[in-house]
Amino acid sequence: MVLYFRGHKTAPLQSADEAWPLKYPAFRATEILDRGASFFRTCVLLSIFLASGLDIIGRAEADEAKGIKIVASFYPVYIMAKNVGRDVPGISVLNLTASFSGCPHDYALTTDDMKKLAGAQVFVANGAGMESFLESVATQYPGLKIINTSLGIALIKDEGDRAVVNPHVWVSISDCMAQVKNLGTSVAEIDPVHKELYDRNTADYIAKLEALRLKMQSELAPYSGSKIITFHEAFPYFAREFGFKIVAVVEREPGSQPSAKEMAQTIRLVKDKGITALFSEPQYPSVAAYAIAEETGAKVYVLDPAVSGPDDYDAYINIMENNLAVLKKALAR
Min dist CB 102 to Zn ion, Å, is 7
Closer CB to Zn ion, residue 67 or residue 167? 167
Q: Which residue is nearest to Zn ion (CB)?
A: 103
Let me know: does 275 contact 295? Beta carbons within 8 Å.
Answer: no
Closer CB to Zn ion, residue 234 or residue 330? 234
Closer CB to Zn ion, residue 103 or residue 187? 103
C-alpha–C-alpha distance, residues 141 and 121, integer Å: 9
Phi, psi of 93 (to 5 degrees): -120, 120
C-alpha–C-alpha distance, residues 21 and 81, integer Å: 80
C-alpha–C-alpha distance, residues 229 and 270, integer Å: 8
Min dist CB 238 to Zn ion, Å, is 12
Min dist CB 103 to Zn ion, Å, is 3
Closer CB to Zn ion, residue 69 or residue 168? 168
C-alpha–C-alpha distance, residues 168 and 183, integer Å: 17
Q: Which residues contact Zn ion by CB under 5 A?
A: 103, 234
Let me know: does 105 contact 254? Beta carbons within 8 Å.
Answer: yes
| Angular region, 225: left φ>0, alpha ψ -120 to 50, beta rest | left
Let me know: does 4 contact 30? Beta carbons within 8 Å.
Answer: yes
Min dist CB 194 to Zn ion, Å, is 32
Min dist CB 166 to Zn ion, Å, is 9
Closer CB to Zn ion, residue 158 or residue 199? 158
